[in-house]
């Protein structure tokens, strides 16, 4: 960047990133940006770490060589662990030569130039919101996954079978399973007896009276 050259905030941000692409370990913590964006640069200006813009083109602020030196020097010092208060105390009022030593910039980065010596324009930003998205490629049909789980049946009582996944229980667990199911089996047996008793009157045999119902078997 030539001494008299001016750039916009977008161009300044790009130049700072180019300058810090060499021999720069990055920010020491995740709370500090490796490369300052436009919002951070404006905040640096408000706080006095960076000079105010030197000129304006219409409503567009313009920055110069000193701004680039200040920003790169700030990031170099932050990478060394210095706080912003320490950096401001050191760099406020520093000459361009002192800033260049801290920034470790022998030559300032510049934008590429054409054959006439004019700086080439920055790449045009795409208007992604205005472009029609490309049609999505047809996705290949996906066959549904088949869960081929093998089940094992454990007969707990006549008409009652428990299904479990094969291998989920060992042979030594069968007795425990049957013991745990005993209250349910008893309840089922009681309900079956109640339903059979409600089906009609008991047969009688003379003076003997009604037949006794079968005793509930344990």
95 and 160 fall within a common domain: no
Give the C-alpha distances (Å, rounded to integers) separating 196 from 188, 203, 208, 214. 12, 13, 22, 11
Alpha helices per DSSP H over the chain? 9-19, 38-47, 65-79, 84-91, 96-103, 174-197
| Residue 63, domain member (yes or no) | yes
Does an H or E element contain 56, and which? strand 55-57
Count of domains for the chain: 2
| Residue 94, domain member (yes or no) | yes
87 and 27 fall within a common domain: yes
99 and 155 fall within a common domain: no
pLDDT digits (tens, 9 = 90+) for 15-29: 999 999 888 888 888
Q: What is the pTM of this model?
A: 0.50
| Residue 134, domain member (yes or no) | no
Chain CA centroid to CA 97, Å: 44
pLDDT digits (tens, 9 = 90+) for 141-153: 666 655 566 777 7
Domain finish residue from 103, 138, 166: 103
Domain containing 28: what range? 9-103
For 109-116, which contacts have Cβ atoms below 8 Å and span 24 or more sequence positions? 109/1, 109/15, 109/18, 109/19, 109/68, 110/1, 110/2, 110/5, 110/15, 111/11, 111/14, 111/15
15 and 80 fall within a common domain: yes
Confidence at residue 32, expressed as pLDDT on a 0 to 100 scale: 85
Question: What are the two backbone dihedrals, phi and then psi, of residue 63, each rounded to the nearest 5 degrees?
Answer: -125, 160
pLDDT digits (tens, 9 = 90+) for 67-91: 999 999 999 999 999 999 999 999 9
| Residue 136, domain member (yes or no) | no
What is the number of other CB atoms lying within 10 angstroms of the CB of residue 116?
A: 5
What is the number of other CB atoms lying within 10 angstroms of the CB of residue 17?
A: 16
| Residue 210, domain member (yes or no) | no
What is the number of other CB atoms lying within 10 angstroms of the CB of residue 11?
A: 19
| Residue 119, domain member (yes or no) | no
| Residue 130, domain member (yes or no) | no
């Amino acid at each position: 960047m030539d001494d008299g050259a001016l750039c916009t905030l977008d161009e300044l941000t790009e130049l700072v990133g180019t300058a810090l692409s060499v021999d720069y370990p990055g920010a020491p913590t995740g709370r500090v940006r490796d490369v300052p964006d436009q919002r951070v640069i404006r905040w640096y200006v408000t706080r006095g770490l960076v000079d105010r813009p030197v000129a304006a083109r219409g409503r567009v602020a313009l920055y110069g060589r000193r701004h680039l030196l200040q920003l790169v020097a700030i990031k170099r010092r932050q990478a060394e662990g210095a706080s912003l208060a320490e950096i401001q105390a050191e760099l406020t009022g520093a000459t361009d030569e002192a800033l260049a030593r801290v920034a470790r910039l022998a030559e300032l980065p510049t934008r590429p130039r054409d054959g006439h010596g004019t700086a080439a324009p920055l790449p045009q930003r795409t208007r992604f919101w205005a472009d029609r998205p490309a049609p999505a490629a047809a996705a290949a049909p996906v066959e549904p996954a088949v869960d081929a789980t093998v089940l094992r049946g454990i007969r707990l009582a006549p008409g009652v079978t428990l299904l479990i996944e094969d291998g989920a229980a060992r042979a030594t667990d069968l007795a425990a399973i049957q013991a745990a199911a005993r209250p349910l089996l008893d309840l089922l047996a009681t309900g079956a007896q109640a339903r059979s008793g409600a089906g009609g009157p008991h047969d009688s045999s003379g003076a003997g009276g009604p037949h006794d119902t079968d005793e509930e078997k344990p």
